[in-house]
């Protein structure tokens, strides 16, 4: 993974997106010496989003298992009336 400052990133933007998109490189962008952004491929983004979805799903399942007095999504979507 490489790191470039914001000015260099601006000047070499097309080169950097090609390196990320076709070369599968991850490029970090710094401003005033601090990391502020990154350029990644669409494949990396898809993997990141899938990972986030999996984490959210696991957290939701855990919260539902630990809840009391709440109903599951399956119960909510079923045709059966709720018990009081």
- Reported as a single tens digit per residue, the pLDDT across 62-83 is 877 777 666 667 776 776 555 5
| Six token digits for residue 75 | 């119960």
Q: Which CATH class is domain 2-40?
A: alpha beta
pLDDT value at residue 56: 85
The whole model's pTM is what?
0.66
Separation between Cα atoms, residue 14 and residue 11, nearest integer Å: 8
pLDDT, tens digit, 9 for 90 and up, residues 4-55: 999 999 999 999 999 999 999 999 999 999 999 999 999 999 999 999 988 8
pLDDT value at residue 61: 80
């Amino acid at each position: 993974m490489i790191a470039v400052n914001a000015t260099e990133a601006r000047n070499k933007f097309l080169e950097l997106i090609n390196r990320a998109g076709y070369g599968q490189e991850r490029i970090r962008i710094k401003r005033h010496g601090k990391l502020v952004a990154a350029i990644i491929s669409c494949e990396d983004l898809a993997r990141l989003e899938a990972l986030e979805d999996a984490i959210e799903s696991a957290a939701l399942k855990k919260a539902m298992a630990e809840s009391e007095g709440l109903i599951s999504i399956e119960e909510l979507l079923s045709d059966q009336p709720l018990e009081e």
